[in-house]
Amino acid sequence: MDKVERKLIAARTRLVLDKPFLGALVLRLPIKAADSSWCETTATDARAFYFNHDYIGNLSLSQTQFVLAHEALHCALSHFARRQHRNKRRWDVACDLAVNPLLVSDGLVPPPNALYLEEYAGMTAEEIYPLVDDDNDQRSQDDHVYDNESPKSESGYGSEPTDESSDSGAARPPPLGADERANLQVRWQQRMAGASQQAMRAGKLAGLMARMVEHLLQPQIPWRSLLARYLTMCGREEFNYTRPSRRQGEAIFPSLRNARLDVVVAVDTSGSVSKDEMDQFFSEVEAIKAGMQCRIILVACDTELAPGSPWIYEPWEAVMPPMEVKGGGGTSFRPVFEWVEQDQRNPDLLIYFTDAEGEFPAFEPEYPVLWLVKGKAKVPWGQRIQLN
């Protein structure tokens, strides 16, 4: 065992002792020296940790801990299975920008050229991806070798996958197949759950890392399904057992009562919600409304109601966002709830589409409120649904 290998073993041992959550994950990745022709720094294929001998030799022990934990978190967060249709280079950058703030907040020391922006702390790769510029030359500090695509060869550096290894280390591994990808995703989620339980028992899992793990281990239900469920629950199609008049006889037969559902839909126009996201939201509300007797009262607001609010759409009318709605920079949710109260409305449901960054009313209203939230902000009351 040479000096570099001893450094890797020492860094892994220190992680196990000081950061048991990360240490337990790192232990799941066999350490393999890689051929420098394809691996300039470190890499993972969700099956092993690959390293460039000279690169690790130039890192401190603390930085070596960081790169080990970095690759393990990529695997634990299933970044290898979540890219879908996204551009590989931008996705790899987004994954690094999601992982590195977690490690920095946990006290680890990043190596030179590690991608790090404090404002992305606590955000997922999916949330960061739209913020990564198409035209810049950013690239991840490591190689994510789960796929056939090689962004390094596209950018004019690095090499394509090879089936042969050289004397200097392991060859670039083959990409994951669909079945193997799915199996590894389940396996890594189980590993993350076990590692988090051990670390929490030891009192060594807190802060951003704990919140991210808790979020990822919760059952993930698509927001469209949750929205449909709430609208269906609010639907007032039910049997009525009220006593009939004497002319109808003594027998009591249930009758179906079908009343129109009134839903107030409030849209945050402060500028943090894009037009594409707004269009997607309205199309989803329209699809759900189509199968129900549902009237939509649309209200747009930033720090005050938009001119022309509200817009009312009867059950037979399509819900389309008004073209003239424009917002400013601030956000206050109070005007919407004040308008509902002043108009003496008692909606069956109020849905607020927002990033939840704003001023809330002091008291929760009597009617149910559903917050469709883009971002990580919390709400003081009502039901919160993560939009993205």
pLDDT tens string 322-342 = 655 555 556 889 999 999 998
Asked whether 95 and 78 are in contact (CB, 8 A), the reply is no
Could you tell me which of 212, 201, 214 has the C-alpha nearest to residue 125? 212
Highest mean pLDDT among 140-144, 233-237, 299-303: 140-144
Assign 162 a pLDDT band (cuts: 50, 70, 90). Answer: very low
Q: Is the dihedral of CA 16, 19, 25, 31 positive or negative?
A: negative
pLDDT of residue 323: 55
Asked whether 192 and 217 are in contact (CB, 8 A), the reply is yes
pLDDT tens string 3-45 = 999 999 999 999 999 999 999 999 999 999 999 999 999 999 9
Q: Are strands 294-301 and 311-313 parallel, antiparallel or unpaired?
A: antiparallel
Query: For 385, which DSSP code?
Result: E
Cα gap 102→122, rounded to integer Å: 7
What domains sit in the chain, N to C, each tagged with a CATH number?
A: 3-217 (no CATH), 223-386 (3.40.50)
Could you tell me which of 384, 373, 388 has the C-alpha nearest to residue 129? 388
pLDDT of residue 159: 42
Q: How many helices (H) and strands (E) does the chain have?
A: 12, 12
pLDDT of residue 93: 94
pLDDT of residue 259: 58
Highest mean pLDDT among 205-219, 283-297, 349-363: 349-363
Burial (CB count within 10 angstroms: exposed 0-12, middle 13-18, buried 19+), residue 82: middle
- Give the predicted TM-score (pTM) of the model: 0.60
Cα gap 357→379, rounded to integer Å: 9
* Across 112-121, 176-185, 211-220, 257-266, least confident range: 211-220
pLDDT of residue 224: 66
Q: What is the average pLDDT value for the chain, to the nearest integer?
A: 80
Write out the H or E segment, with its range, that includes residue 232: helix 223-234
* Across 153-157, 249-253, 354-358, 380-384, least confident range: 153-157
Give one word for 201, left, alpha or beta, with left for phi > 0 and alpha for psi -120 to 50: alpha
Which own/partner contact pairs does 219-225 have at CB distance under 8 Å and 24+ positions apart? 223/372, 223/385, 223/386, 223/387, 224/284
